Structure 1
Amino acid sequence: MLNRNKITMLILILGAIGLPAIINAQGIEFMHDLDSALAKAKAENKPVFVDFYTSWCAPCKEMAKDVFPQEKVGSFYNKQFINCKVQCDDKGVGVEKGKQYQVNAYPTLMYLDKDGNMIHSAAGSSTPEAFIELGKIALDPDHNMFTLIKEWNAGNREYAFVTKYFKALKDAYRGEKLSNDFNTYFNELTPADKEKKATFDLVQLVKAAPFSSPFEYIEANVKKYYKTVGNTTVDKYISDSYLWYLKNMIYPATRKEYEIAKAKFKAKNYPYYNEFAMFFSAYEVQDSTGNINVDEYMKRADAFLQKYGKNNDSYTLALTSLLGNCTGKPDQTLIGIKWMEDLLKRNPDPKYLSTYFYITLRNYHCDKAQEIANEMRANAIKNNQSTKSVDAQIASIDSYRARLAKLTAEKK
């Protein structure tokens, strides 16, 4: 019989060595070095599943907490794959591996053959069931991305196939390949085929960017597209493309390219240039290091919304979201709350409540944030949707209450 000291020692040993192994065995058993995982894959003649993640990525954390540890997930993945985690913000090997495999979104769930060639890929979090299904697709040579790429390289240009192919690349965030292959496809078409509605639908699917050859062809032949697609749809696609393309370039790393692109856009003489330029000006307060002059940002954004805010609800949502990111003190950016309340008076769309909640909470209006979150939760239940996301938002309110109490006490 073991005495108490021996039992205590045994428990400590199990806790330090055996217990984590038992827990991990219920879910996916991960390696943390991709080269070693590939070597093991060769030895066991298995493909490799790689979770490319970062320390700051919320969906990555959801997968790690709610999906990877599940027994049914582990049973499938441990049997079918060698599994590996690669942290893409580790300032070391992980960063280089992310670049090597062209990882542009997190989490990227990638499947490699034993030689390290990508056979399938997807981005974003998923349910356990969808994640298992994704693994089955990766194992299926008739449906995985490796097969799609092989068929594309063999010259298949049937509309049904290319639609499937481009959607797969888009879902996997293979942006560079998507753009290059679509440009190849579009440039090979006859003028009559380029101007079909079906082709325009593909342009919208891949989001052909301003100044690309497909986009410029549409601009040059806009009247022909009016006949096949419709004026409103074509004009909206062109204007929206310029709006968000340029807005997403206003960062220190791409500021020079933004200025060049903005000048080219101005030369197009579209009637909405001044409106867009005023919208962009709010984001231009960001300096070369990424710091934002919050006061100037609020001044410019408010002036813009007073003049053009009713033209597009997305203006308010985008400007408020960034303002929330810049907020760190109670009542620091109250104008953002006003922006959202004005928007919700015009259009009480439940989808807007998440941004309203965010700016309200970031200003430490915890009671109001709680009311908004409760409404969001009720809407989710009413529509038979998961409350997981809003429950996490509700849970975050307590930390803001605690910080607010601390700040209040420090002032006394």
Structure 2
Amino acid sequence: MKQLKYVLVFIAFTSLQGFAQEINWLSLEEAVALQKKAPKKIMMDVYTSWCGPCKMLDRNTFHNADVVNYVNKNYYAVKFNAEGNDVVTFKGKTYSNPNYKPEMANRRNSPHQLTSFFQVNAYPTIVFMDEKADLLAPVRGYQTATQLELYLKLFKKDEHKMMDTQEKFNNYYAAFKPEFKD
């Protein structure tokens, strides 16, 4: 009976740990400020409130234990509402959503000015930036944990710098062995 009690406590504890794992989301300004103290790349989730694949990305991929651990260790993670009303200061300029309509907050709204800056034209898009907050690449569309792993490791290890052709990327993609579990 005593052993059963310990087993149940262990199961409950490990189950709660699985649910408690989350990416440490920041604002863009917070991430850029942290880069000055401890340089890391930035991964920015650009989403909208009405986007189904955005919600799937958040629920499935961004709560995957492998993704959570890797992102929290190697990146500053930013969550950015592409149609929101935030005023953002980035690289000495102020960006906003001048055509934002509050009555449309949970429906399609006008895009934030930062979406153009980061070449976002579809949702979700995951924007990767280097240690100086310069754009590396936008990755469009829903990504599973194993699909996102490729980009997380590609940019973390600066392997993208060796890929000046589509063929080189295709070869990297074909040779990539994912370790994350979906």
Greater percentage in helix: 1
Q: Relative contact order (C-alpha < 8 Å, sep 6+): which is higher?
A: 2
- The TM-score normalised by the length of structure 2 is 0.63
Aligned to 2:149: 132
1:334-366: CA deviation from partner (whole Å, max 9, x where unpaired): xxxxxxxxxxxxxxxxxxxxxxxxxxxxxxxxx
- The number of equivalent residue pairs is 131
Is residue 127–residue 138 contact of structure 2 (8 Å, CA) maintained in 1? yes
Aligned to 1:104: 121
Aligned to 1:58: 52
Between the aligned partners of 1:112 and 1:25, the Cα distance in structure 2 is 27
Between the aligned partners of 2:20 and 2:155, the Cα distance in structure 1 is 23
Give the SS at the match of 2:79. strand
Is residue 27–residue 73 contact of structure 1 (8 Å, CA) maintained in 2? no
Between the aligned partners of 1:80 and 1:129, the Cα distance in structure 2 is 16
Instruction: Check if 1:72 corresponds to 2:89.
Output: no
Between the aligned partners of 2:158 and 2:162, the Cα distance in structure 1 is 6
1:9-66: CA deviation from partner (whole Å, max 9, x where unpaired): xxxxxxxxxxxxx8886131111x2122111122111111100111111110001111
1:83-108: CA deviation from partner (whole Å, max 9, x where unpaired): 00010111343612212212111111
Is residue 120–residue 138 contact of structure 1 (8 Å, CA) maintained in 2? no
Between the aligned partners of 1:89 and 1:23, the Cα distance in structure 2 is 31
Aligned to 1:45: 39
Give the SS at the match of 1:121. strand
Structure 1 unaligned residues grouped into runs of 5+ = 1-21, 152-160, 168-412
Instruction: Check if 1:27 corresponds to 2:44.
Output: no
Between the aligned partners of 1:139 and 1:124, the Cα distance in structure 2 is 20
Is residue 22–residue 68 contact of structure 2 (8 Å, CA) maintained in 1? yes
Question: Post-superposition shift, 1:75?
Answer: 0.7
Of residues 110, 113, 124, the one that matches 2:130 is 113
Runs ≥4 in structure 1, deviation > 2 angstroms?
Answer: 22-25, 91-94, 163-167
Give the SS at the match of 1:110. strand
Aligned AA for 1:29? N
Aligned AA for 1:42? K
Is residue 25–residue 74 contact of structure 1 (8 Å, CA) maintained in 2? no
Between the aligned partners of 2:117 and 2:137, the Cα distance in structure 1 is 15
Is residue 53–residue 123 contact of structure 2 (8 Å, CA) maintained in 1? yes
| RMSD (Å), alpha carbons | 2.5
Give the SS at the match of 1:76. helix
Question: Post-superposition shift, 1:132?
Answer: 1.9
Between the aligned partners of 2:155 and 2:19, the Cα distance in structure 1 is 23
Aligned to 1:302: none
Is residue 50–residue 85 contact of structure 1 (8 Å, CA) maintained in 2? yes
Is residue 26–residue 74 contact of structure 1 (8 Å, CA) maintained in 2? yes
Question: Post-superposition shift, 1:140?
Answer: 2.9
1:230-267: CA deviation from partner (whole Å, max 9, x where unpaired): xxxxxxxxxxxxxxxxxxxxxxxxxxxxxxxxxxxxxx
- The TM-score normalised by the length of structure 1 is 0.29
Question: Post-superposition shift, 1:164?
Answer: 3.7
Aligned AA for 2:147? A
Give the SS at the match of 2:84. coil
Give the SS at the match of 1:83. strand
Structure 2 unaligned residues grouped into runs of 5+ = 1-16, 88-95, 97-111, 171-182
| Identity within the alignment, % | 27
Is residue 52–residue 106 contact of structure 1 (8 Å, CA) maintained in 2? yes
In our comparison, the structure showing a higher alpha carbon Rg is 1
